[in-house]
Every structure is written in C-alpha cells, then in structure tokens.
Amino acid sequence: MTQSTETAPLRIAIAGLGTVGAGVIRLLGTNRDLIAARAGRSIEVVAVSARDRTVDRGVDLSGYAWEDDMTSLAGRSDVDVLVELVGGSDGPALAASRAALSGAKGLVTANKAMIAHHGLELAALAENAGVPLKFEAAVAGGIPVVKGLREGTSANALTKVYGILNGTCNYILSEMEETGADFAETLAAAQKLGYAEADPTFDIEGIDAAHKLAILAALGFGAKIDFEAVRTTGIVQVRAADIAQADALGFVIRLIAQADVEGEGKDARLLQRVRPCLVAKDHPLAPVDGPTNAVVAEGNFSGRLLFQGAGAGEGPTASAVVADLIDIARSEVGAPFSMPVAQLTALVPAEPGHRMERTYLRFTVNDRPGVLAEITAAMRDADVSIESLIQQGRANQGGDVLVAVVTHEGPEANVRRALELLDGSDSLTGEPLVLPILPN
C-alpha cells in the first residue's frame, strides 16, 4: 500500500556541498525528530552533487547517491525537491533549477543572483507545474524576511522596504567606527577573518545588496523583479574621516538598500537604490553592526516592522533552507512572489530628483584661498541651503584637506546640480562623496 504524502518522507537532493550545503545536512541530522514533528513527516536527503567528490566536508555523505551532473540530479525519479546551493545567476545552477521545476519538482534555493535575474521565469515554471519555489535563504540569511513580507504583511499596503542587506559592508563600516582604520585596511582584515571574499566586488560595490533589494521590492509591492533598475553605489569611497565626522554629527554610516513606490495606478513609480547613508544614532538601524542584517518594512496598518539577525553563515542560512523545506513538507505552496506572476506589475523606475532629503557632502580640495567660496557659490547657484560646513584639516603633506558640507532638506536634483557646477574644478583633487541622511 502506497503511503500518503502526509506521512511519506519528503525526498530532497542537494546541489552544492559548500558551507551551507554541509550545514543543511548537519541540521537535518541534528534536529531530525523536531523537524519531522513540525513538518508532519521526515525530510530525507537521497542524493547530492558538487564539483569535487574528494573534499572532506565534515559530514557523512556515504548514504546518499552522488550525481556529477546537477541537471541529472534534478531529474532523478526519487527526488521531490531540489535544494540549489551552488550560486551564480546562470550556468549549472540555473539549468538544474529549470530542470527541477519543468519536471514538476519543488525548488529551494539560496541563490539571490539567480532569483534577481531569473526569478519571474522560475516562478512561472513553478506555477505551471503546481510545485513550490522558495528562496528564504536568498535574502538576509536566517532572518525570515521573505516569509514576513509574503505572509506576515500580506494584508498591508507597504509604503517602503529598506535595510542593511550586506553583512560584509556592515562589518567593514562598523569596524571602521571601532578602530578608526581606513577602508582598505579594514577590508584586508575582513578578508583574513573570512567576512569578505577574496574578490569582494559584489559586496563592496553594493551589487549583492541590490540583488536582495530587487527580490524584496517584488515581494513587498507586487512588482515584477527589475534588478537593472536598482541604482547602486558602494562603500569604497568612505574614509575613516567620514566615519569620524558622522560620529561627531550624531550619525553612523551604513549601506542602506531602499525601495518604495510613489503614485498610484498607471502613475506608480518604483524607486530602488543601494547607497551608503548617514543614519541617526537613535534610528533602529544604527545599532546594527558587524555582519548582522536588518530589514524595515512599513505597512499602512502594521506600522514599522523590524526584522534583524544573522545575514549569512552556515547555521542561519541552513536554518532558512530547512524552514522552506518544512513548509513544503506541510504542502504549503503559494505564489513565490505573493501573487501569481501574471498579476505582478511592471512598475516604471522612479526618477528621484524631486525627492527631499538632507545630504552630507565631502570634498577633497587643495588647501588654498577661495576654495570654500567656490564650493559655497556652487551650492548657492544650485539652490542648495547649507546647514554646516566643516574644514577637517590638512590630510597630508601634499596640501589636500577635507571639506564636509551638511545641507538642509532640499531636492536631490539641486545637490546633483551643485556637483555638476563643481565638476572639473582645479580646486577639487578627488571625487566628492555624497551620503544622504536617512530620515527617522
């Protein structure tokens, strides 16, 4: 007699046996009874795949079938769900994911790049096959923010979603606060400790956070994913002097990912951007330091909600993967992006020039008469009101100094115009740093 789906094990295959893949196996073994009780049935690994069979991953793989080809893994007849933990927006991860969904198998993935670039296609495949696609681990590690937006805020019209989505950048910025060291030195230390990759470009240029933001925006606003529309600025330009000046002004610097919709109906516009910001010390995101992530969602009935926790690592990410598997074991499917793909809206990107904000500007300039007058004249001609102007002292023997300007609230376009007026000036010896001040 065939077992019912409620009591038969959920059979999974794991593609990718790095830190997270091994963590999933370890978690499923350690909490086996608890997971089965909560899922209503056991979750069993039946097959695995990775690039190298010989690597010691600290877990026993002898009981699982091995497939060298991930697409073959996804097509096995004894597999109900593929867990994709390889990474990369395309290549083997995407091919295996397509194969799994096309073959009416569920898919759980931690791959934010793949979801940001191909999420709509994969969601459509899942809907057509009537199988689940889940990606809690793709955003903010162990924090249940995907589930929180998809289910917990489902009765709300969200006004904005924003937060700290990259642990590497947050670690670097908070270490710069703590030690007073500059960016390059702190990045090198983070790499030695394993908080930053050997090639940290995706992190420090804001691309990783942009992938995650595009996913959250789709979930939060019923929008089609539009990763290409995310305006992205990283943290490479931030100096120790900026950290110190922010502290003196009552702020910390954080890389903030923000998304919100302005207007309604045909006039609705979606703004998505990732950029370092000054955050007031009494803001809920200011105490978030180290590799921690945090997401704020503001709903018209729920008010402000804060999700905070470990944004990466074996345990938190494996926890998010297994939480998705438990949902699938309970037969909880649902639309991957809160509503069917056909109902998601292709929102036009917003132009933020009219938006009002205060701004911190830092200029590296020659220490000579007339420089401050030139900066203030550009601000005047662009209709930017200056709240404070601070000359931070001689930076080196070459005669360069740092000049920091904090503006009163005004249109973003005016600040942009002031910088255009100063572009090409012999007085400026480096590219200005522009840090918006995050409203409370």
Q: List helix spans (H) across 222-312.
A: 240-249
Provide the H-helix boundaries in 105-256. Answer: 112-129, 145-147, 167-179, 183-193, 201-204, 207-221, 240-249
CA distance 245 to 208: 27
Our CA angle for 262, 264, 266, nearest 5°, is: 110
Q: Which residue has the tokens 């951007």?
A: 273
Q: Is residue 232 within 8 Å of 264, Cβ to Cβ?
A: no
**Catalytic option among 105, 112, 134, 212:** 212
**Torsion angle of C-alpha atoms 390, 394, 399, 405, degrees rounded to 10:** -20
Number of residues written out for the chain? 440
User: Distance between CA atoms of 195 and 169, rounded to whole angstroms?
Assistant: 9
As a whole number of angstroms, the distance between CA 367 and CA 386 comes to 21
Contact status, residue 240 vs residue 181, Cβ threshold 8 Å: yes
3-state secondary structure 300-330: CCCEEEEEEEECCCHHHHHHHHHHHHHHHHC
Number of H helices, E strands in the chain: 14, 19
174 burial type by CB count under 10 A (0-12 exposed, 13-18 middle, 19+ buried)? buried
Partners of 364 in the beta sheet?
Answer: 402
**What is d(CA 358, CA 414) in angstroms, rounded to the nearest whole number?**
11
Residue keyed to tokens 């060298």: 68
Which residue's entry shows tokens 């830092």? Answer: 362
212 part of the active site: yes
Residues annotated catalytic, as ranges: 212
